[in-house]
Amino acid sequence: MPSSESPSSPLSLAARLEGSHVLLTGVTGFVGEALLHLLLSEVPGCRTTVLVRARGSQGAQARVAALLDKPIFADVVEAAGGAERLLATTLGVLEGDLAAPPPLPDGLDAVVHCAGDVSFDPPVDQGFATNVVGTRDLLARIDEALAREGRAPDTLHYVHVSTAYVAGRRRGHVAEAPVEHDVDLAAELDWGLSQRADVERRSRAAEHLTKARRRAEREHGRAGLLTAARATEAARRAWVSEELVRIGSERARSLGWTDCYTFTKALGERVVEGWAGTHRASIVRPSIIESALVRPHPGWIEGFKMAEPLILAYGRGELPEFPAAVDTIVDIVPVDHVVAALVAVLAHPPPPGAPAYFHVTSGDRNPLTFGVLYAEVRGYFERHPFTTGDRGAARLPEWRFPGAPAVERLLTTSERAHRAADYVLGHAPRSDRTRELARRLDQQGRRLAFLRRYLDLYHEYAQAELRFSDRSTVGLLESLAPEDRERFAFDTAVIDWGVYLQEIHCPAVTEPVRAMDELRRARGRTARTRAREVGEQPGTAAFFDMDGTLLSSNVIETYLWMRLRELPAGARFAELARIAAKVPALVQADRRQRSDFLRTVYREYAGARLADLEQVVDEELAAHVVSRLSPDAVRRIRQHRAAGQRTVLITGAIAPLTRPLAPLFDHIEAARLAVDERGVCTGHLAGSPLVGESRAAFLHSWAAEHDVDLAASFAYADSHSDLPLLAAVGNPVAVRPDVALFRHARRQHWTIVDWTSPPSSVRSLNPAGGSGGAR
Amino acid sequence: MSRPGFVLEVDDRTPPLVVHEGLGFRLERFPLGTRVVYPPESLPVVPDVDEAIREALLHPVDADPLPTLLHSGMRLTIAFDDLSLPLPPMRAPDIRGRIIEHVLGLAADAGVDDVALVAANALHRRMTPAELRHIVGERVFRSFHPQGLLTNFDAEDPDGLAHLGTTEHGEDVEISRRAAESDLVVYVNVNLVAMDGGHKSVGIGLASYRSLRHHHNAHTMVQSRSFMDHTRSAMHHSAWRMGRVIKEHVRVFQIETTLDNDVFPRPYDFFQKREWEWSVRDQASMLAAKRGLAVAPQRLRHRVFHDLRSGYGLTGISAGEVEAVHAQTLERVHRQQLVEVQGQSDVLVLGVPYLGPYNVNSSMNPVLATCMGLGYYFNSYLHQPVVRRGGAVILYHPLDEGFHQLHHPSYVDFYEEVLAESTDPAVIGQKYERQFAEDEWYRHLYRTSHAYHGVHPFYMWYWAAHAMDHVGDVIWVGADRRAATRLGFRAASTLADALEMASGTVGRSPTITYLRNPPQLLADVR
């Protein structure tokens, strides 16, 4: 490595790095990609090897090829004479995972480690594995490579990309120096890595599972125990990852860091510092990295970083306040400044045993306050508002910066109100209005969850009153040759925040969102309430639930029709009163278990003769069943039949009640009342009622028996308890669903249709005998 | 002596006039010079109904007295008109029930024990037991219904039909097997309008689709000018041909009755009085009804109207040979309903009331409202239509009642699927009629539930075919716009707007005629 110093006319960076061989990690990330681009385009004499891990079926080579296919690399690839040529000459690919780094190639002059977990709230074990173990293992591989080649330790320069926020929950001036702390690295590492096993074990504890299962059964019990079990297990998994995050943050805060990310990053630096006793090492600490100022082009950004979700949420009018003070500094640097500084650092290895520290930050010399940030972002959106949908520009909230506690209060109150509304809605009778309310409430809930997550995450950073000194970085910049100071600009003092935010960053960040909005508008409002065409596929079937889907009635109502027919007028009233008194118990049973509910109702049929029931249905109730039929439902059934598909009615109602609908279906699966030898109903059912999961089980066995392709079949149902039925087919349709099913259907993008029942104005049992006959 | 009908010419002293519109009415101020046709007041009624019935049965026209036709061991079938007549339903006791009691009495005297009663409902819906009881009366119902001897006619029962042959025009004649195989069919009719009765009674009321399709189609209807005048109606010509085939096989003893115009019972009798003659009590009733209906929910309004039962008086009864009886009947109907109108006008205004033949105890859906306005009311003329060819018809109805799922299931699909594609009666008849007529589900509902036959909505549309062919513009005042569009018409908020919209067809100062019915009237346009 040419490293002779010549203070009068400094060598250019390209000259310094000419002929050297650099290993890069993390090139598929935001900073790594920019760094690779800069090296390839401005330091062509430097050979680069990138360490990339295979993902899925895509090998490292293929991933790099895909990377080079991106527009920003077009010039570089062309200058090199094609991607293959580039890969054959200056760009090498080393496949491997940082979790277990592979042996490194020979002849390396430098290693730049920019891979790392960018999430602020990683599960604790993952934070340690990536930021501490990953660094340690990489350094071990470097030692191994040097030993293999028989080189001295000081012949390789290791550049470590950290973060300025390793300073933790300090206040005020932060120097470019090691972070002061006396944490026992080995003990913390041990602890951190063992957490997953520990939390997994705790999550399986009986008392924990009991609670989760009870909750799931309360919510999904109607759909069946397996559905509830699935929900329980999903809840346990979610709890494990949440708990790991919580443990990490708590430990970090107990030691003076903001979160697990900065904590493990600081420990990672410790690992580097230990290694640097005999080696050359530099530590580069950028602050919040945002879109490029100049290179590869102004506004270049990959994926969403820290501030983008907040900017977008503000633009949509969904971020009412922020828990920061007006004058708190938010330390942002453009990505091209970071990678330029990295190249400069790369070309200036420090002496062994004295690691060099560089802050790539803006806050000290060109501070951007939250007040200015807010004003500029607002200014941008005032000039270029989001015009989603057809409601015109979103209303931009006005921030008054009331301080963190006030924002927290606002959020907590909103969350409480949301929970209350959710409870009420979960118990409300179904109607179009409840469904609309549920939709709005869910939207509100998503916004609240978003706010909660981001405010919790950024709360610490918004409070951080840190001034990162970047004297060493400035010194490095000033030592460069004049033309390099242009080419590798990293003086954050030159940034005009107004121009950067309004003309570079915000347009870049909002562009994909606007494109998506445009697409949505172009697609227009396709009628969501139309089920897919029935098609002409043979070997398929359509399954229909009865109560609530085909008919506007329920089991209690049908029971009453039947009983009231048989009773004299006086007894009718008594019967009505008796049933009314039982309603609370029935509602309870229905919420708990659909089958319990049905059993409770059918007990009332004890003592009735089955033949009589059938006669009552044929003579009197057929009209009531048919008049409650939804015309849309009937049309749909007939469409299926016309298309040659089989139609099946599945219902928890008793078989006699389905008689009027028999001609519409190829098969009717209904509850059968048990009868004694005289044909009198015992009040019990001949088999278990077909509800919840048993419907799905019936579906599968029926489909197998009749050679029906369920994936191409349709199912129509209205209630949460029908979830397994709907999930069993390829074309589920929720018909005027209850809130729980409505939510599920929306999440799964199932068709939701609105089959209105007839607004029949004639419902009296005696149509001819009007009361006004003799007036 | 009752006053004859007359034609009022609206001048500046004319008060606002009643216009029916579905489950309500409005008081409309018509442009000066508008002709308003009022039906005659009720004719004198027969002094003793039982005496009149007995007289008719014992001294029939062109036939032997009924007792001589009855003998022990014979097979007797009594058929009667269904609930589509009269409108509104008659306050109990229904005249048909009273006649049937007399006939049954004579049959019992003669020792006839094979007697069956069948409602001649053709493709209309099956009546409920309560509806049957209302028509035949409690005593007859209790004696015959439990044994299954009082039934609705089932035009889709393959075992219940008999093919009697074809007419000289090749038209199939297929009627109820029970009637065809009876020694005597006594038909008890209520002749509300000139269209009813005659050979239409047995020949249509007890016929199957196979027979009906020959005259219930768009082509025949356009050639029936009007179907209230059987001498100029292609539909009736066909029915008369069929009637003569029936006559060769079956002995029919026809009993026809005619009613007066006493349609609205108190306190709604102001509807059938002339507005300038309203007493203080009438005005109070009108105001109460108007205010009440304005605030009442649709269900309640439906109930108020559909609970009305009319206290008709019997203006006459004839019995005997079908055609001879019908000639007498028509003479009485004309006396009760005929109003002479001088010349056609550019615009015809009609108020479509809450009730037509096919929505008794049911709802007036848009297809039925069209049939009522453009079918029945438009055709209430002799000689020539009230409106000139290419003129405009303005109808009042909100078209918002929706469909009765129990009674009109095929109507829903007709409206959603057929009318969405075409509103031309000839086109839809050709393309869809068979499909609806032979649909298994509709057939099932017609036979076991209380649904009109699958093909029935097509017939409604055919009834209106002549009007659609004749006029240039159809505008509904106060109608649901989407419904009007689906029907192929336009909607206006007010009469003034409707006239404005029609001005392209009939000019700025058209001649206007308003037929102020119900009660029924028949315009004799000279």
A568 pLDDT tier (thresholds 50, 70, 90) = low
Give how far A775 is from chain B: nearest CA, Å: 8
Of A190-204, A282-296, A688-702, B316-330, the least confident: A688-702
Show the tokens assigned to B157: 């029962």
A775 pLDDT tier (thresholds 50, 70, 90) = very low
Overall average pLDDT of the A640-666 stretch: 87
Site from B138, B448, B450 to mutate, A interface, most A CB atoms within 10 angstroms? B448
Domain identity same for A229 and A111: no
| Chain B residues lying within 8 Å of A774, measured CB to CB | 91-92, 309
For the stretch B293-347, pLDDT in tens is 999 998 899 999 999 999 999 999 999 999 999 999 999 999 999 999 999 999 9
Give the CATH fold of the B49-259 domain.
Rossmann fold (3.40.50)
Nearest CA in chain B to A767: B361
Closest CA to B221 of B459, B473, B475: B459
Pick B91's closest partner by Cβ from A635, A663, A774: A774
Domain identity same for A566 and A713: yes
Tell whether omega for the bond before B519 is within 30 degrees of 0, i.e. cis: yes
Predicted local confidence at residue A118, as pLDDT: 67
A635 and B265 in contact by Cβ < 8 A? no
Secondary structure class of B484 (helix, strand, coil): helix
Of A197-201, A406-410, A575-579, B332-336, the least confident: A575-579
Nearest CA in chain A to B406: A627
ipTM exceeds 0.90: no
Say if A634 is an interface residue toward chain B (CB within 8 Å): yes
Closest CA to B379 of B215, B236, B227: B227
Predicted local confidence at residue B327, as pLDDT: 95
Measured between alpha carbons, how far is residue B186 from residues A15, A180, B105, B204, B252 in Å? Answer: 121, 115, 13, 15, 6
Of A56-65, A765-774, B171-180, B219-228, the least confident: A765-774
Predicted local confidence at residue A761, as pLDDT: 38
Pairing of strands B75-81, B114-120: parallel
Domain identity same for A107 and A134: yes
A774 and B409 in contact by Cβ < 8 A? no
Domain annotation covers residue A391: no
Domain identity same for A32 and A119: yes
B307 and A627 in contact by Cβ < 8 A? no
Say if A145 is an interface residue toward chain B (CB within 8 Å): no
Domain identity same for A213 and A338: no
Pick A626's closest partner by Cβ from B413, B417, B449: B449
Nearest CA in chain A to B305: A772
Pick B402's closest partner by Cβ from A664, A759, A766: A759
Measured between alpha carbons, how far is residue B330 from residues A430, A555, B230, B317 in Å? Answer: 57, 54, 10, 11
Give how far A760 is from chain B: nearest CA, Å: 6
Sketch the domain layout of chain B as residue ranges.
Answer: 6-41+338-525, 49-259
The beta strands (E) that lie in A114-213 are given as 157-161, 172-174
Predicted local confidence at residue A562, as pLDDT: 64
Domain identity same for A168 and A30: yes
Give how far A647 is from chain B: nearest CA, Å: 14
For the stretch A471-497, pLDDT in tens is 999 999 999 988 888 889 899 999 999
Show the tokens assigned to A236: 């346990």
Say if A638 is an interface residue toward chain B (CB within 8 Å): yes
Measured between alpha carbons, how far is residue A38 from residues A34, A48, A748, B149 in Å? Answer: 6, 11, 43, 100
A592 pLDDT tier (thresholds 50, 70, 90) = low
Give how far A563 is from chain B: nearest CA, Å: 20
| Chain B residues lying within 8 Å of A775, measured CB to CB | 265-266, 307, 309
Domain annotation covers residue A166: yes
The H or E element containing residue A648 is strand A646-654
Pick B405's closest partner by Cβ from A627, A769, A771: A627
| Chain A residues lying within 8 Å of B359, measured CB to CB | none
| Chain A residues lying within 8 Å of B441, measured CB to CB | 634, 638, 663-664
Pick A767's closest partner by Cβ from B361, B401, B405: B361
Task: Give the residue with greater pLDDT, A118 vs A192.
Answer: A192
| Chain A residues lying within 8 Å of B402, measured CB to CB | 758-759
- A642 class by beta-carbon count within 10 Å (0-12 exposed, 13-18 middle, 19+ buried): exposed
Q: Give A677's contacts (C-beta < 8 A, 6+ positions apart).
A: none
Domain annotation covers residue A713: yes
A514 pLDDT tier (thresholds 50, 70, 90) = confident
Domain identity same for A335 and A209: no
B91 and A773 in contact by Cβ < 8 A? yes
Nearest CA in chain B to A627: B406
Domain identity same for A547 and A686: yes
Give how far A573 is from chain B: nearest CA, Å: 22
Instruction: Residue A637: give the domain boundaries.
Output: 541-753
Measured at the CA of A535, the angle between CA A534 and CA A538, to 5 degrees, comes to 110
Cβ atoms B187, B339 nearer than 8 A: no
pLDDT at A138 over 80: yes
Show the tokens assigned to A269: 């630096």
B134 and A627 in contact by Cβ < 8 A? no
Total domains in chain A come to: 3
Overall average pLDDT of the A100-122 stretch: 86
Pick B405's closest partner by Cβ from A622, A631, A767: A631
Domain identity same for A247 and A280: no
* Mean pLDDT of chain A, nearest integer: 84
Count Cβ–Cβ pairs < 8 Å, chain A vs chain B. 99
Closest CA to B143 of B188, B113, B119: B113
| Chain B residues lying within 8 Å of A759, measured CB to CB | 402
Pick B265's closest partner by Cβ from A638, A664, A775: A775
| Chain A residues lying within 8 Å of B265, measured CB to CB | 775
CA torsion sign for A219, A220, A226, A227 is: negative
Give how far A456 is from chain B: nearest CA, Å: 53
Measured at the CA of A64, the angle between CA A62 and CA A67, to 5 degrees, comes to 110
Predicted local confidence at residue A324, as pLDDT: 81
Domain annotation covers residue A591: yes
Domain identity same for A604 and A625: yes
Predicted local confidence at residue A389, as pLDDT: 61
Overall average pLDDT of the A217-230 stretch: 82
A760 and B133 in contact by Cβ < 8 A? no
| Chain B residues lying within 8 Å of A760, measured CB to CB | 363, 404-406
| Chain B contact residues (CB < 8 Å to A) | 83, 89, 91-92, 127-128, 130-131, 133-134, 265-266, 298-299, 302-304, 306-309, 361-363, 401-406, 409, 412-413, 416-417, 440-441, 444-445, 448-451
Domain identity same for A175 and A207: no
On whether the B6-41+338-525 domain is CATH 3.90.76.10, my answer is: no
A772 and B361 in contact by Cβ < 8 A? no
B437 pLDDT tier (thresholds 50, 70, 90) = very high
| Chain B residues lying within 8 Å of A626, measured CB to CB | 405-406, 409, 445, 449, 451
| Chain B residues lying within 8 Å of A550, measured CB to CB | none
| Chain A residues lying within 8 Å of B454, measured CB to CB | none
Bridge partners, B491 (sequence order)? B476
Overall average pLDDT of the A738-750 stretch: 86
Q: Give A 731-760 residues with CB within 8 A of chain B.
A: 758-760
Pick A770's closest partner by Cβ from B307, B403, B404: B307
Bridge partners, A47 (sequence order)? A21
For the stretch A688-737, pLDDT in tens is 777 778 888 888 999 999 998 998 899 999 888 888 889 899 999 998 88
Cα distance between residue B476 and residue B494, in whole Å = 9
Nearest CA in chain B to A769: B130
Overall average pLDDT of the B11-17 stretch: 94
B405 and A768 in contact by Cβ < 8 A? no
A631 and B409 in contact by Cβ < 8 A? yes
B130 and A626 in contact by Cβ < 8 A? no
Q: Give A 659-688 residues with CB within 8 A of chain B.
A: 660, 663-664
Overall average pLDDT of the B21-44 stretch: 94
Domain annotation covers residue A275: yes
Show the tokens assigned to B164: 């009697």
Report the share of chain B in percent with pLDDT over 70.
100
Report the share of chain A in percent with pLDDT over 70.
89
Domain identity same for A91 and A240: no
For the stretch A401-430, pLDDT in tens is 887 788 888 888 888 888 888 888 777 777
Domain annotation covers residue A535: no
Pick B361's closest partner by Cβ from A629, A630, A768: A768
| Chain A residues lying within 8 Å of B444, measured CB to CB | 663
